[in-house]
Amino acid sequence: MAAQFLRLKLRLLGNAFRRSPWQLVGMLLGLLYGASSGIVAISGLISLRLVEAPVADAIVTVFGGIIVLGFVILPLAFGVDDVMDPRKLALLGIPTTTLARNLALTSLIGVPAVVLTLVALAQVVTWSRGPLPLLFALISVVLLVCTCMLLSRVVTSTAGFLLSTRRARDISGLVGFLVLVALVPVVFLLLRVDWANDGYRVLQGVASVVGWTPLGAVWSAPGDAATGDIGAAVLKLLIAIATVVLLWFAWRALVFAMTTSSQRLAHVRTYRGLGWFRLFPATAAGAVAARSATYWVRDARYHVSLIVVPVVPLLMMVPLAVVGVPPNVLALFPVPIMALFLGWSVHNDVAYDSTAIWLHVASSVPGKADRIGRLTPALLLGVPVIVLAAFITAPLFGDDAILPALIGLGLCILFAGLGLASVTSAQFPYPAVRPGDSPFAQPQAVGTASSLIQSFSFFFTAALSAPVAWLAWLTLIEGSKWALPTLGLGIALGLVYLAIGVWGGGRIFTRRGPAILAFSMRN
């Protein structure tokens, strides 16, 4: 029976190469990335054979623990699809233990398993320093592969079982994304370490903790054997064995629960009243605005965009703070960056509608009304956020006189971005995540055009705001006499950009309505 499961997994992997050309290109790029990452890891482990045992032990333990942690975080963050879900085989009447064992074996077929196995074998070369370290390293190969594969099965199946509803999947994806974002400052702090002088001390401190956890015990045991600490090596090997045993029982229990329990059904919410449609005027623009506002409140794809707005400035400030930029100067970054991303967030808004765009085309919604309605939620949210952020960051800079300039620059960037988005979303829509899919999933058709459109939206918005940015710079250099002119020019120029964008985007939407509908049907 095991051979049948393995053939089934191979057949499923082979079918993946029969998809559309763009999907095939994406898969090949993923394979290339996995192969290159594996080559780097294998080369590093082999080169550690020439390094002193304590140093090699610290390096292998820390980075090995990161690899094991990746088998937990990545499936949650990016929603890996489990093609061998136990629930698909529930009606075959296969005993739970047999099914769990065979499904665990199928996890050994795939790029992650192959790369992991090669990396595990490479650490045998690292610890080929004597019979005892070599023995521990060989045992660690088996334990390491079993740990990671069982861990990936448990995490993926748990996510598929417990997060069966769309809202639960969206929340888990957001949590995983925030976890990854939280790790970014740690990476920059590690880059700040003087590795030439203090690197070993830092790694040794981290390894001394990670090595006694299930994440690093399997990596650390051969290193302890190489340094002569046999007692610690045996204890860590027992921790690794206990981890595999617990994961196996957890996996078996999970298979039993998934094959004997009915599938969880999504909780159907009931809504009363007209919602946002009651708050907006009974016009074409008001109806589109109410519909867009509903998306912004309920759709996880928009939630991700809103989370990115405050997160990106923080991520940009961390490396600048590490390299020594003064805190008062860093306080000037959040307002323009948040305005840039708020304006950019709707540059492909039409594609987010998917096939629902037919409502606008069939009812002959004027292009201008469609443009105004889509921008309304971004304006209602963006303007207060920019003004509030300016009131918070100006005192942090140390000079309240900069407040009008910050508001003027932020509003100009926001209005310019929204005006440009009105044109690009109608003229250059590109495939986006479909409604109901994970907000972190990749669309089925992607290309160079999408990257060019995104880059164009960013850089052209910045270019349009350059005159106001220059006045804001003069405010910093020459004093507050330029603050009010910056505010006035920022609002006036931004409104001009917004009006031109709505006018031009409306004409484009009216002319290209059937083409936009055809695009939504293809993607």
- Compute the distance between CA of residue 153 and CA of residue 103 in angstroms, rounded to an integer: 9
Q: Among 214, 191, 182, which Cα is nearest to 67's?
A: 214
What's the average pLDDT block by block, 10 residues per block, for the chain (523 residues)? Answer: 69 64 61 74 83 83 85 63 67 78 78 82 85 88 88 76 56 59 59 61 79 87 85 89 91 82 58 78 89 84 76 72 73 87 85 84 87 91 91 83 90 93 87 68 52 77 91 85 89 94 92 86 71
Alpha-helix runs per DSSP H in 299-326: 300-322
Residue 6's contacts (CB-CB under 8 Å, 6 or more residues apart) are: 105, 106, 109
Cα distance between residue 458 and residue 446, in whole Å: 19
pTM of structure = 0.60
> Residues 144, 218: contact at Cβ < 8 Å?
yes
Q: d(Cα 382, Cα 378) in Å, to the nearest integer?
A: 5
Residues in Cβ contact with 270 at an 8 Å cutoff, skipping those fewer than 6 apart: none
Dihedral in degrees, nearest 10, Cα atoms 124, 126, 128, 133? -80
Query: Contact 422/509 with Cβ under 8 angstroms?
Result: no
Say what the pLDDT of residue 493 is.
Answer: 93
Q: Cβ neighbours of residue 237 under 8 Å, at least 6 residues apart?
A: 136, 139, 140, 143, 217, 218, 221
Q: Which pair of structure tokens corresponds to residue 360?
A: 């606008």
The dihedral of CA 111, 117, 121, 127: what is its sign?
A: positive
Q: Which two tokens stand for residue 295?
A: 């998306």
Residue 208 one-letter amino acid: S
**Contact yes or no for 421/393 (Cβ under 8 A):** no
**How far apart (Å, rounded) are the C-alpha atoms in residues 167 and 175?**
12
- Whole-angstrom Cα distance, residue 69 to residue 85? 22
Give CA–CA dist 116/148, Å, rounded: 8
Q: What is the pLDDT of residue 206?
A: 79
Which pLDDT score, from 0 to 100, does residue 133 have?
A: 85
**pLDDT value of position 184:** 58
Cβ neighbours of residue 181 closer than 8 Å, sequence gap 6 or more: 311, 315
Tokens describing residue 211 = 């090595």
Decide if 34 contacts 49 (C-beta within 8 A): no
Q: What is the CA radius of gyration of the chain?
A: 28
The residue behind tokens 């965009």 is 305
Tell me what pLDDT residue 446 has. Answer: 46
Return the pLDDT at 29: 67
> Which pLDDT value is given to residue 447?
47
Burial class (CB in 10 A: 0-12, 13-18, 19+), 391: middle
